[in-house]
């Protein structure tokens, strides 16, 4: 066990897991260990974290004893369809009765009245303005900026440095690439992929790709 607060098990052992581990410790959690195919990974460059086993080890843990954090990143492709592994892992763990508390880095700026669902992760330097809603298991990555009254669905990834102007609506499972800019009031349908650096001026249909 590392630290001293509520016990948390991390899903994944790669780069995103390392960033989430840091956030967990800053937020007062005890890192009880991580689940990943291998004991070694990028997570282990930040400290010697206990490896508990592969993903199927989850069924041996007690949801009353530990909460979970999703340490899986995702690498979208233009023609992605179906559930990503980050979403699959989250849903499988929920079905076993595990809870994923929402996480917020201490350096994130979150306006009053913002609704952040379970399993969401608001990373370092992110800004959520007033009236914003973030769905479950969504990830607002480093220094992303989400302006007033945006509605973000479940299982969304808003990449580092992306800018969502006011009243943007994002459907479930969307990936917004790093540094993309979405102009005010734009809507993006479920499962769409927005390329890194894109400037999105028109609505994006479900499952579509915008660059």
Ligand X SMILES: CC(C)(COP(=O)(O)OP(=O)(O)OC[C@H]1O[C@@H](n2cnc3c(N)ncnc32)[C@H](O)[C@@H]1OP(=O)(O)O)[C@@H](O)C(=O)NCCC(=O)NCCS
The footprint of ligand X (CB under 6 A) covers 76-78, 141, 159-160, 177-178, 193, 195-197, 211
- The least CB distance from residue 94 to ligand X, in Å, is 23
- The least CB distance from residue 193 to ligand X, in Å, is 5
**Nearest CB to ligand X, comparing residues 53 and 197:** 197
- The least CB distance from residue 107 to ligand X, in Å, is 17
Q: Give the rounded distance of the alpha carbon of 164 from its chain centre.
A: 16
Q: What angle do CA 197, 202, 205 make, to 5 degrees?
A: 95
Contact 107, 90 (CB under 8 A): no
The set of long-range contacts for 139-147, using a CB threshold of 8 Å and a minimum separation of 24, is 139/70, 139/86, 140/108, 141/178, 142/19, 144/176, 147/184
- The least CB distance from residue 101 to ligand X, in Å, is 22
Contact 86, 78 (CB under 8 A): no
**Nearest CB to ligand X, comparing residues 144 and 172:** 144
Q: What angle do CA 103, 42, 152 make, to 5 degrees?
A: 30
Question: Can you read off the two tokens belonging to residue 39?
Answer: 């004991």
**Nearest CB to ligand X, comparing residues 83 and 115:** 83
- The least CB distance from residue 153 to ligand X, in Å, is 18
**Nearest CB to ligand X, comparing residues 66 and 194:** 194
**Nearest CB to ligand X, comparing residues 156 and 195:** 195
């Amino acid at each position: 066990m590392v630290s001293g607060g509520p016990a948390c098990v991390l899903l994944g052992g790669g780069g995103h897991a390392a960033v989430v581990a840091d956030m967990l410790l800053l937020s007062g959690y005890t890192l009880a260990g991580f689940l990943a195919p291998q004991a070694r990974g990028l997570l282990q460059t930040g400290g010697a974290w206990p490896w508990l086993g592969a993903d199927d080890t989850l069924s041996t843990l007690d949801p009353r004893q530990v909460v979970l954090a999703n340490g899986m990143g995702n690498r979208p492709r233009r023609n992605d369809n179906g559930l990503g592994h980050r979403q699959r892992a989250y849903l499988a763990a929920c079905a076993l009765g595990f809870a994923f508390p929402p996480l917020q880095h201490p350096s994130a700026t979150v306006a009053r009245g913002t609704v952040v669902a379970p399993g969401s992760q608001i990373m370092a330097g992110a800004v959520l303005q007033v009236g914003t809603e973030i769905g479950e298991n969504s990830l607002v990555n480093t220094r992303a900026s989400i302006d007033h009254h945006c509605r973000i669905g479940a299982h969304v990834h808003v990449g580092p440095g992306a800018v969502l102007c006011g009243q943007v609506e994002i459907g479930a499972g969307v990936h917004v690439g790093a540094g993309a800019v979405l102009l005010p009031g734009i809507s993006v349908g479920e499962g769409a992929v927005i390329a890194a650096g894109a400037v999105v001026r028109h609505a994006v249909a479900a499952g579509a790709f915008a660059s």
